[in-house]
Structure 1
Amino acid sequence: MEFKTLANTSIDEILSVFNHSFSDYIVPFYLTKEVLISKIAAEKLDRNISVGAFEEGRLISFILQAEKIENGEKTIYNGGTGVVPESRGKGLVRKMYDFIIPLLKERSADLLLLEVIEGNQAAIRAYENLGFTMVRKLNCFNGNINSGKGNTTVTIKELTALQWDKFMPFWDIEPSWQGSVFILEDMLKDCLILGAFRDEILIGYIIYNPFSRKIYQIAVDKNHRNQGIGTRLFDGIKEISEGQTIAFNNVHDTSENTYTFLEKTIGLNNWLSQFEMKRNI
């Protein structure tokens, strides 16, 4: 058995092992090459700091990772761990981390971050045994947006820039990796941003990718909540998406009001939940 980074491993080989690893997963799924390439680009996954286990030169397990520096702290994000079914039970995830952590220390990394599906007890126990602790629960929603019931007294306009100085004061929580400032800064060309205005003042916004049909962020000024502003923003996405199914992943599970809003008012289904886990290096 050999452990090394994925710097010289082809996308095709990673794709093959990725799909084989997740074929019997708690939520089975299959990626095309185009979707994997898009995931790597969108999540800023870096094969130079990703790791694989190789048996007789053949990839059998991997951890795909990305890196960001924020507030002086370097975080390494696990964007996907896979082990082919016939090689499970050999402690490969621990062995891959044992290999890659010294290299991450050389890069002055401070923190490991990942998400694991609620109900995947084997993975949760494995990560806890590796020193990870649960930080928060993240809910994933999908479905068709209900017919418009939003506040029609506000004006909805398309924005051409990510106005973080105006957006961030609306936040109650920090977005997860996929919806973070770090990720979205490089995705502007793929995203549509709608702003809600009252008397020409921005009071809410939503960020949506029409290609993947994913919502990354929505927030409303605290002084204008419970007035149909969020619903009005979703009305705008419903019109743009022409009624197609949309997804809104990794919504922080802290507010019963947000959960009720997305399910009862907007009509989305909480089809999956994940735990965000962290570990100091």
Structure 2
Amino acid sequence: MEFNTLANTSIDELLSVFNHSFSDYVVPFHLTKEVLISKIVAEKLDMDLSVGAFEDGKLVGFILQSEKVENGEKIIYNGGTGVIPESRGKGLVRKMYDFIIPVLKERNANTLLLEVIEGNQPAIRAYENLGFSIVRRLLCFNGNIKPGKENDGISVQELKDFEWEKLRSFWDIEPSWQGSVFVLEPMPENYMTLGAYLEEKLVGYIVYGPTSKKIYQFAVDKSFRNLGIGTMLFNAISRKNGGQAIALNNVDDSSESTSKFLSERAGLNNWLSQFEMKRPI
């Protein structure tokens, strides 16, 4: 068994091993080549920081990773770990981390970050044995948006740029990696970003990916809540995507008002929960 970065691994080989690894996962799923490429680009995954386990020159396991600096802390995010069924039970995840952590230390990285499905006890125990700790619980929602009552005093318009200082002031909770400022900035053309205005004042916004059909961020100014602003934003997304089902992942469960809005007002289903886990390097 050999370990190396994924810098020289083809996207086709990675796709094949990715899908084989997740074919019997707690929540089985299958990616197309286009979706995997989109994931790599959207989450800013870096193949030079990602690691693979190779047996007889063939990829049998991987950890996909990205890097960001926030508040002086260099964070390495795990965007996906997989080992094909035939190669499990050999401690490959630990060995892949053993290989890549010295590389990350050379880059002065401080923290490892990942998400794991709440019911996946073997994975949770394995990460705890690697020194990870649970830091928060994240809720995942999906479904068709339930049309809500319109507020004629609110207008919804396209946002041309992110005024992060203003938008952050609307937040109750910090977005997870996939909806973080690092991932969304600069505003890419493949996102739909709408602002809600009350008498020309920006009082709420929403960021939606038409390709992934995911909402990455939404928030309403704390001084203008319970006026139907969130409903207006979700109604607008529903109209623009033709009423197709959407997903909104990794909502910090400490915000009861957000989860209540998503389930009761927007009509979405909390179908899955995850734990965000961290460990120092």
- Taking structure 1 as the reference length, what is the TM-score of the superposition? 0.98
Offset at residue 187 of structure 1 (A): 4.7
Count, aligned residues: 281
Matched, 1:19 2:19: yes
Matched, 1:197 2:200: no
Alpha-carbon deviations, 1:13-57, whole Å to 9, x = none? 111110000000000000111111111111011111111111111
Report the Cα distance in structure 1 between the residues aligned to 2:251 and 2:152, rounded to whole angstroms.
Answer: 26
Q: Which moved more, 1:270-279 or 1:248-257?
A: 248-257
Report the Cα distance in structure 1 between the residues aligned to 2:256 and 2:68, rounded to whole angstroms.
Answer: 31
Unaligned runs of 5+ in 2: none
Report the Cα distance in structure 2 between the residues aligned to 1:56 and 1:186, rounded to whole angstroms.
Answer: 41
> Is the CA contact 2:23–2:29 (under 8 Å) kept in the aligned structure 1?
yes
Alpha-carbon deviations, 1:173-210, whole Å to 9, x = none? 21110001110014521111111111211111111112
Alpha-carbon deviations, 1:235-258, whole Å to 9, x = none? 111111111111111111112222
Map 1:112-151; keep pairs closer than 5 Å: 112-151=112-151
1:215 aligns to what?
215
Map 1:144-163; keep pairs closer than 5 Å: 144-163=144-163
Letter in 2 for 1:50: S
Report the Cα distance in structure 2 between the residues aligned to 1:101 and 1:2, rounded to whole angstroms.
Answer: 16
2:224 aligns to what?
224
Offset at residue 152 of structure 1 (A): 2.6
Instruction: Provide the identity percentage.
Output: 70
Report the Cα distance in structure 2 between the residues aligned to 1:130 and 1:227, rounded to whole angstroms.
Answer: 47
2:75 aligns to what?
75
Offset at residue 130 of structure 1 (A): 0.4
Letter in 2 for 1:42: A
Which contiguous aligned blocks of 4+ residues in structure 1 show a shift greater than 6 angstroms? Answer: none
> Is the CA contact 2:162–2:187 (under 8 Å) kept in the aligned structure 1?
no
Matched, 1:272 2:281: no
Unaligned runs of 5+ in 1: none
2:165 aligns to what?
165
Alpha-carbon deviations, 1:103-162, whole Å to 9, x = none? 100111000000001100000000000000011111111111112314232111111111
Q: CA RMSD in A?
A: 1.0
2:172 aligned counterpart, secondary structure = coil
Report the Cα distance in structure 1 between the residues aligned to 2:140 and 2:131, rounded to whole angstroms.
Answer: 25
Offset at residue 79 of structure 1 (A): 0.3
Report the Cα distance in structure 1 between the residues aligned to 2:72 and 2:230, rounded to whole angstroms.
Answer: 34
